[in-house]
A and B are shown apart, each in its own frame.
Chain A
């Protein structure tokens, strides 16, 4: 199994790419709002993503179960 440093070194660039895709998706939404002059009728999916990032931003996850927490969180969105 990978040690802590190897884990970061191995997966950092892929995680960076994935975060950039999330940032670009939110920018894409904002640009669409600007173009159309109105927000989506139902913004719950956007709110859900922002909440997910709040969960990730919490400094301590003693059970190392962020993925499980996010799946539980996303399960609330239909």
Chain B
């Protein structure tokens, strides 16, 4: 089965992960810009990072026959540095023009501070001005519900096209409001925090699937790129067809990401039902 990893922090992972993903059917990964584990101090550090994910990483993935795409943003944890955020935002349009850059992300909220909200608004505004897709991170654990509500309030106050916005890391308590507001929703499957493979399948069985994306977890912390395959196995063992699985784990990413013409992987049909 062909699989797309919509949210994958490749620079924190090994070549062996690429190899094993290729062996398990992964055809493309998308790498949003994220936090490095420490707060970067210089705009130039971001620029080098954006160059790494938009220029070097596609060649590393290609060694294993995997397509690599990226997103650029200042992540919410570093948004407290307003000057840094402003300077990076000024230089982001150059990267939005790169052939594998799909949009602005992951922006969003971490502690939902005024500076984070200002940064989120600036990122969304930039994306809308450049007709870009947006990937929005929602907070972890106890801040999840409040932070997601705040993201929705911020977006409601802006001129945005919900078709082009993906709100990520939803769980049982936040998916309803995100889908009801017309946005795409992503579930992220971690070994301990966020959603799990089985709970993700419960959500897939309960909500309309047309705007749902499923991510594994792949970063420098405790995470596992193969939680995505785990969830596919769980989905299939509950009796859902291969085509239904393809719709979620391959075709939905194609439908959302394909709004950017740089994404040229098309939805596929395994067989006529």
Q: Give chain A's interface residues, CB within 8 Å of chain B.
A: 13-14, 17, 20-21, 24-25, 27-28, 31
Contact = CB atoms under 8 A, between A and B. Distances in A.
Interface size class of B (residues with CB under 8 A): under 10
A27 B193 contact: no
B31 to A, nearest CB: 26
A28 B202 contact: yes
Nearest to A35: B205
A21 to B, nearest CB: 6
Interface in B73-119: none
A21 B206 contact: no
Contact of A13 (B192, B196, B202): B192
A25 B198 CA distance: 9
A63 B51 CA distance: 59
A30 to B, nearest CB: 11
Interface SS of B by simple majority: helix
B198 A24 contact: yes
A17 B196 contact: yes
A21 B193 contact: no
Contacts of A21: 196, 198-199
7 contacts: A17-B193, A20-B199, A21-B196, A21-B198, A24-B172, A31-B202, A31-B206
A27 B198 CA distance: 12
B192 A17 contact: yes
Contacts of B198: 21, 24-25
Contacts of B196: 17, 20-21, 24
Of A14, A21, A25, A28, the most chain B CB neighbours within 10 A belong to: A28
Q: Which 7 A-B pairs have the closest CB atoms?
A: A24-B199, A13-B192, A17-B192, A24-B202, A28-B202, A14-B192, A13-B193
Interface string B176-204: 00000000000000001100101100100
A43 B193 CA distance: 30
Nearest to A14: B192
Nearest to B193: A13
